[in-house]
Amino acid sequence: MCGIFSYFGPKTNIEELITGGLMNLEYRGYDSWGIAYKTAQGIEIEKEIGKISDRVLSNNSQDTGLETNIAIGHSRWATHGGVTQANAHPHFSADKNIVLVHNGIIENFFELKEELKKGGVEFVSETDTEVFAHLISLYLHEGFEEAVKKALAKVHGRFAIVVICKDENKLIAARVGSPLIVGIDKEQNEYFIASDIPAFLKHTKDVMYLDDGQMVTIDQNGAHFYDMESGKRIEKRIVTIDWDLESAEKGDFAHFMIKEITEQKNTLHRAINQDAGLILELAECIKNAYGTFLIGCGTAGKVCMVAEYLFAHVAKRHINVAFGSEFNHYKHFIKDKSLMIAVSQSGETADTLEAIEVAKGKGANIASILNVETSTMARISDFVLPVKAGPEKAVASTKVTTSQIAILTLLAYALADRLEEGEQLLIAAAGQINDMLNPRYERHIKALADKIYHSESMYIIGKDMNYPIALEAAIKLQEVSYIHAEGFAGGELKHGPIALISEGTPVIAIVANDEYKQEILSNAMEIKARGGYIIGVSPENSEIFDYWIKVPDAGNASPIVNIIPIQILAYYLSLLRENNPDMPRNLAKSVTVK
């Protein structure tokens, strides 16, 4: 949620630089944006409602005539206060000496706001962020850095801020909970501060990570990191990121979503090509744990549900599954020998991070399965299994989802001492997916989208490990098509949901070639008898199906192959309904606030 991109260095095309960086963060979700930069007259701010890409830069924006080449930018997703120009970031202090951008939520902002009002401060926005600017200004007589430290000490919550001062040639940034990364190009003596690496990937791959409870000051002498509470200096190493710029750009594809769906030909192979020693080591941790808990949010939560079935079938092992936002219910069962396995794309999901903090506080071991190996989640985990999918920029997760399921499948087989069998299963499935993802297959699914895109509601049924895939399919359809979609366990249909079926209602039946095949076909027949339009996702056709989407017969890898055609369907439905599949309304890629 929200995006921060800031710069310190010799470049003079500041407007182009900052807006370009913010455009690289558009996938995070936002409804307004703004930039602030220093000039000979002070600090200038530009703020707008809507998309950055809608803005056409003026011809003379190559050189803004800055006194110092310091600028901060922000893309905002509204939390406190509506979508207005006044509420967009950056925010000034009353005296215009301080301006800042902020991600996250200040939990005690109301109390602080009332206190500042009593002191005569007048607020011009409804945001919690403005409180931060006024607090820093209040202490500015003690020096810029000290003022930031004192303001930080007064606020509670999860946040990331970047601040500039009218009279100082430096940037100051700090974080608690929300991600913030420093990019560095030593040769050019330039620094970037951003919420995520793609913002500055075209400029540098060298980064230094700002951890929780830390702040950084950047000036002509470099970047200096400190502990926020003690003020003690912290030495940071430079890490070189192995992402390439091409993987973070659309290339010849119309949207990131279809590009990332197509990339599953390759990303599954990368997920399978894990260090076998890491898989076996984590499997051994599960064997020795006093209770293992799988947690994730949204799509990652559905991946965890798939894994619950896999561990039961393959390894005959019970695993506890919880959404990060609902983990509080399980905290009493965590012991010092428990194991928590967190599943995430970004590694910055607020609810999952809070669950990890609870588990760590009780002495549990933490393992993470995630795509961003240098994220907060990775750095606080005892054990990390990387997804290796590369940047995923569409809000609706596709390639990372299937890679996460693949890794958990390997883990289930390793737990049963059958890792090689699991590898062969997934290699075969990846080869079948490579054959499946072709233009003719896409056209077949688009033809289905043409038939059903006017539908008001859709339903998806599955059984066993494909029940969570039905739930995930509903999420995909909801996210990008905005069609009301729900997933059900096939056997639960007659316990209420079948009342929703009317003539022509599209229902996707996920039918794996397993012991439950006849049961789910029977459920589909019940729907058809009530007028439902049955879309079969199955290795074999059936007279029950009104439309058949063929998928490989992949055994225990069926959850992976079965979700892919529904990802494609969701994409084409979004286009037909004139939606942007990469940036669905009201959604963000990384949910970094609760």
Active site residues: 2, 589
Question: DSSP string covering 254-270, please?
Answer: S-HHHHHHHTHHHHHHH
Angstrom CA distances, 591 to 77, 227, 416, 588, stand at: 11, 25, 35, 6
Residue with tokens 């729900």: 486
Residues 6+ apart with CB under 8 A from 273: 388
Residues 6+ apart with CB under 8 A from 244: none
3-state secondary structure 465-494: CHHHHHHHHHHHHHHHHCCEEEEEEHHHHH
Residue 229 CB neighbour total at 10 angstroms: 11
Residues 6+ apart with CB under 8 A from 59: none
3-state DSSP: the chain helix, strand, coil percent, rounded to 5? 40, 25, 35
| Structural contact between residues 551 and 562, judged by C-beta atoms closer than 8 angstroms | yes
> How many CA atoms does the CB half-sphere of 154 hold within 13 Å?
21
Q: Could you tell me how far CA 227 lies from the centroid of its own chain?
A: 27
In 3D, which of 397, 373, 396 has the Cα closest to residue 386? 373
The C-alpha atoms of residue 471 and residue 466 are separated, in whole angstroms, by 9
| Structural contact between residues 537 and 566, judged by C-beta atoms closer than 8 angstroms | yes
SS3 assignment, position 8: strand
Question: DSSP string covering 294-363, please?
Answer: EEE-THHHHHHHHHHHHHHHHH----EEEEGGGGGGGGGG--TT-EEEEEESSS--HHHHHHHHHHHHTT
In 3D, which of 426, 62, 4, 325 has the Cα closest to residue 193? 4
| Structural contact between residues 192 and 162, judged by C-beta atoms closer than 8 angstroms | no
Residues 6+ apart with CB under 8 A from 246: none
User: What is the C-alpha R_g of the chain?
Assistant: 25
Q: List, edge to edge, every strand of the sheet that includes 339-344.
A: 320-323, 292-296, 339-344, 365-370, 383-386
Residue with tokens 């084409």: 572
Beta strands 457-462; 484-489: pairing state? parallel
Task: Give just the sign of the alpha carbon dihedral 586, 587, 591, 592.
Answer: negative
| Structural contact between residues 587 and 581, judged by C-beta atoms closer than 8 angstroms | no
| Structural contact between residues 224 and 216, judged by C-beta atoms closer than 8 angstroms | yes
- Copy the structure tokens of residue 44: 């200038």
Residue 56 CB neighbour total at 10 angstroms: 7
